[in-house]
Chain A
Amino acid sequence: MLSINSTPQGSVREPLCKIIRGNGAKKPFNLRAAAGCAFDGAKVVLQPISDVAHLIHAPLACEGNSWDNRGAASSGPGLWRTSFTTDLTELEILMGHSERKLVDAICEIKKDHAPAAIFVYATCVPAMIGDDIVAICRSATAEFAIPVVPVNAPGFLGAKKLGNRLAGQALFDHVIGTVEPEDCGPNDINILGEFNISGEFWLVKPLLDTLGIRVRACIPGDARYLQVASAHRARATMVVCSSALVNLAQKMEERWDIPFFEGSFYGISGTSNALRRIAGLLIKNGADSELLDRAEALISVEENRAWKRLEIFRAGLKGKRVLLNTGGVKSWSLVHALLEIGMEIVATSVKKSTDDDRGRIKQVLKEECHLHDSIAPSRLYSTLTGGKADIMLSGGRTQFIALKAKVPWLDINQERRHAYAGYEGMVQLVRQTYLAIHNPIWTELREPAPWERHRDANIRKHGEREPYRIPLQFGH
């Protein structure tokens, strides 16, 4: 059994306390399946490292139901999209053959797929029967001459957020600092918590290139193992998805003295501020001070161009009300982005956000806006059907609540089709929001069917008051 004490304490002390306390006090647990587990959180954070083989030590469902389902993009290797699992069977679990199978799987993967490294993820069942993946990984690293990294985040340990942190801990304990780069420079930075969804980091990277800032490691979006392993030689770190990897940034600051800040590439001013702060931190750490001047010049050009391009959408979006239902980073960085164009936020969920996130959101929002820990589906539905919002921005799990309520919806989560980062991305986000709200289908959809129109006329004529409902059951 993987005990609480065997998990890396530094990074998880607080959430684990919460778990234990929660149980003692009979805290009601969430029955809805929308929230992921710790394994989910760990895999999400690490999987986009694209030249690594991600091996899930589990019975089928953990990996079988969740592989190749995120929109992160890689500019090179496709190995991360290949799914590896030990697919444990009943007999193997009963007979205690699961550790042997794991070792065999590592051996096969090394032989057939030549990965830069293998990440081995523990899950509930092997953790419960006592498989020691840390020891297996240690000996496999020696035996197969390849980094084999244990990621110890079985699902029952807690929520997705905890898994995010455990993933950061795994990188800190086993990967970062294991390779010395030969090409360190004063303008090297790390970006933590950027997933490169739909390739959106590629909208930001040219800006950094223009300024001569080199991304030593972007973790995890489009990352390579060696970049992560040598990330400790960067001069500054920007943390993008604040709740996911901020603990890693803190630890890297402690051990390697890399200063960090939390920022966002969402929104025009968000992107500009991020560029300023990157330049500022680098200068403080020895970069040439003219970097900031060049950054300001670039910002001014880019901002002007973006605002000009946004002008055509302003009239169509001013005063439109947005219901934001998403966790973590997107809540606060997108809020800012949308306010810039004159939209209003009527409610937002802050479930996965940290306390700092919440403070930031409160600052930028009007008082009447509601902050929810999580919004129950029924509540979400009635808000939307009640005409209290013109669009919902959320992830795929709540997509159909909006669509069934016949309210425009835009995906801002991991499966989204568009890149929203940077100045270009902001224009894209606003354009997509505009297109969603002004799509002609909405008026057509809300028109009653011919037979209902007829009925409405009848009701008016005969003064009937009985409301008519389409029966939910079709057929018989």
Chain B
Amino acid sequence: MVNIFSQTKAAAINSLKSSQPLGAALAFLGIDGAIPMIHGSQGCASFGLVLLGRHFSETIPLHTTAMDEIVTVLGGADRLEEAILTLKTRVKPRVIGICTSALVETRDDDIAGELLKMKGGRVAELSGTEVVLASSPDFAGAMEEGWSTAVAAVIEEITLPGEHPRDATKIAVLPGSNLTVADLEHLRETIERFGLNPIILPDLSKSLGGIIPEQWVATTYGGTKVDEIRHLGSAIRCIAIGEQMRRPAEALKRITGVPYVLFGSLTGLKNADRFISLLAEISSEEAPLSIRRRRMQLQDAMLDGHFHLTGKRIAIGSDPDRLVQFIDFFTGMGAEVAVAVSTTGMSRALQSVSLDTIHTGDLWNLEHLAAGTDLLVTHSHGRQAADRLNIPLMRVGFPVFDRLGNQHKLTILYQGTRDLIYEAANIIQASQHRPSPGRTDSPLNMEV
């Protein structure tokens, strides 16, 4: 049983988490022809826009209701309606994703009610555009919660309810926010190898995956199509990746009866085996040769890489699902996860790990706990801590703004685990000190 310690200080220092509205907006960015709109003041959206842009190196079609002082006092319902209608006429998006900020949630506006009223009154004007509300105040939760809320809201709003004739080759895939663009592409290709047809929701690989459009597009360039979301109910199975996706998967099951399988993580040999077995079972096909070759490569990487990782002390800071993914990965390679700091403590995912202690907190907590470890694993903001502690940093998570190609790094299944082993081992190799008379690594000084 893992003990979860929450931080006790009043000031959060060097934030580890990113805000809920950002997670919700990001989920909407994985839908084709969508525009996420943060319902709040100008800054609520512009900070997020800059951060998303720096992480993905892409244009981000994020919008805002730009609440000012007077709208804040009088209530934002009219402003929201005006913003939706303006967007609808100007850009004609297929989906407008409203993400609420702390500003409107503190006012306790009945946004869901107002939206319902508005949609009822403007059926013709809004035809062809789905308006989805994700309640995502940044005074609660973090990125995963926002992402999960938005995906669940999309399913509840758009997917046709009721039991449908099942398509034996159609798989609904609900990936957590911790998967990269490369992960999503790899996931799709792997599922297709079994003759199956995956519908990934949301699919950032089609919108933020390095696309150069031939004309100006004011919405997302691509992503899961509204039509695909509408007909998710005919899938034979739903695969949810990450505990954060339980809620959307439950929503899909409740609405359409599609059963789901939940994977806490797809990283590591065992998890990958389980995933491939599932695909083999659903498709009644044997795993193709290329996948078997990847499995062998992973075994080989484990053989070659374990020398560098075994006994190493790792400090990880991340959102719960990614935290679990990397704790399992490192402990699976014989390393010791000496410090684990989670952004929030509520996720059931945290209960599944084989550690005694997980802290919830910020990068300051991580920095203080991580002294003396061999590798820091967190997002780019960990760079200050890594410098001060003189420990190498493996950049993982959101945001990564000081390294290129982050979205094209694979972290799942046989191939992704193989790549992760090499990356971690190489970072550790690169920072090793040459032996000198004063500093040989004597086992006498070490705890087992």
Contact = CB atoms under 8 A, between A and B. Distances in A.
Interface core residue of A28, A83, A108 (most chain B CB under 10 Å): A83
A396 B53 contact: yes
B57 A400 contact: yes
Contacts of A377: 59, 216, 218
B384 A89 contact: no
Interface residues of A, number: 81
Interface stretch (B68-76, B247-255, B407-415): B68-76
A23 B211 contact: no
B42 A469 contact: no
B15 A35 contact: no
Contacts of A107: 10
B116 interface: no
Interface string B378-392: 000100100000000
Nearest to A103: B10
A36 B47 contact: yes
Contacts of B256: none
A401 interface: yes
Contact of A83 (B15, B37, B213): B15
A42 B316 CA distance: 34
B102 A65 contact: no
A297 interface: no
Interface string B45-86: 111111101100111101111111111110000010001001
A154 B13 CA distance: 21
A64 B18 contact: yes
Given A31-B86, A108-B10, 13 more contacts: A4-B69, A33-B46, A60-B12, A61-B101, A64-B18, A68-B384, A69-B401, A78-B384, A101-B10, A377-B216, A400-B59, A469-B214, A472-B221
B322 interface: no
Contact of A33 (B45, B87, B142, B381): B45
Interface string A38-71: 1110000000000000010011111111111100
B11 to A, nearest CB: 4
A61 B381 contact: no
Interface in A385-437: 396-397, 399-401, 404, 406, 415
A474 interface: yes
18 contacts: A31-B87, A34-B49, A37-B43, A38-B43, A60-B19, A60-B138, A61-B20, A65-B48, A87-B12, A108-B9, A108-B11, A124-B41, A128-B72, A156-B69, A156-B71, A377-B218, A400-B57, A400-B58
Contacts of B71: 23, 156
A377 B101 CA distance: 25
B292 interface: no
A84 B11 contact: yes
B107 interface: yes
A160 B205 CA distance: 33
A155 B43 contact: yes
Contacts of A38: 43
A30 interface: yes
B442 interface: no
Given A33-B45, A65-B18, A472 B222 contact: yes
Contacts of B12: 60, 83-87
Contacts of B59: 377, 400-401, 404
B13 A84 contact: yes
A23 B12 CA distance: 36
B106 A128 contact: yes
B137 interface: yes
B136 to A, nearest CB: 10
Interface of B: 9-15, 17-22, 32, 37-38, 40-51, 53-54, 57-60, 62-73, 79, 83, 86-87, 101-103, 106-107, 137-140, 142, 185, 188, 197, 205-206, 209, 211-218, 221-222, 362, 381, 384, 401
A399 B22 CA distance: 20
A93 B44 contact: no
Given A61-B102, A89-B139, A90-B137, A404 B72 contact: no
Counting from the closest, the 7 A-B pairs by CB-CB distance are: A37-B43, A104-B10, A33-B45, A105-B11, A61-B19, A87-B12, A155-B41
A401 to B, nearest CB: 6
Interface string A72-85: 00000010011111
A58 B70 CA distance: 20
Nearest to B206: A474
Interface in A434-476: 469-470, 472-476
Given A156-B68, A158-B68, A89 B140 contact: yes
B43 A40 contact: yes
Contacts of A401: 59
A221 B17 CA distance: 28
Contact of B49 (A33, A92, A109, A160): A33
Contact of A156 (B17, B54, B103): B103
A88 interface: yes
A473 B213 CA distance: 9
A292 B137 CA distance: 58
Given A61-B138, A128-B106, A85 B211 contact: no
A70 to B, nearest CB: 10
A364 interface: no
A23 B70 contact: yes
A157 interface: yes
A31 B66 contact: yes
A40 B42 CA distance: 9
Contacts of B188: 475
A102 B10 CA distance: 7
A426 to B, nearest CB: 27
Given A378-B218, A396-B54, A85 B11 contact: yes
A1 B222 contact: no
A472 B211 contact: yes
Given A33-B63, A82-B384, A474-B211, A93 B139 contact: yes
A33 B51 contact: no
A381 interface: yes
A289 B318 CA distance: 61
B234 to A, nearest CB: 15
Interface core residue of B13, B14, B58 (most chain A CB under 10 Å): B13
